Amino acid sequence: MGTSQLELSCPPQQAHALELWLQHAAGRILFEDVRAYATEKIDPTLPDETRLAVQKGIDDAMYGLMMVIDGVSGILRSGPQSVELSVTARLVNREPPGIAAELDLRDGDGMCMGYHGWLDGDYGDNIVTFVAR
């Protein structure tokens, strides 16, 4: 199910809990709109062994993305310069408009750490989303 079918829950107020919540929200978005999307595209007529191999490839690619987000890989360097990616999670208020909280995911507890729980559907102690009605 894509994130369009989910509704965001109320974020926690405590600063560290909010940071963790933002990281889990980012994980939920990536797992619903990237991993689940790719998984749904696997041909259902493929043999089970092949489907499992394709799913492993999807999961390995997701982990590679987590490593880039964390800064473990994905940095181009030459002499005094480098190019790095930055992925930011923002809690945005619609009324009044503005950014309520923002976190560069590289500064968080680690997307690679969250990945293993997200594979099992664990998005932390503070509920991030629920199914929209």
Per-residue pLDDT, averaged over 112-133, amounts to 89
Task: Work out the number of other CB atoms within 10 angstroms of the CB of residue 119.
Answer: 13
Q: Is the pLDDT of residue 56 over 70?
A: yes
More confident site: 109 or 2? 109
Q: Which pLDDT tens digit goes with each residue over 79-101?
A: 999 999 999 999 999 999 999 99
pTM: 0.91
pLDDT band for position 133 (50/70/90)? low
Task: Identify residue 41 by its one-letter amino acid code.
Answer: K
Residues shown for the chain:
133
Give mean pLDDT, residues 31-40.
96
pLDDT for 7 beyond 60:
yes
**Domain ranges, ordered by start, for the chain:** 3-130
pLDDT at residue 131 greater than cutoff 90: no
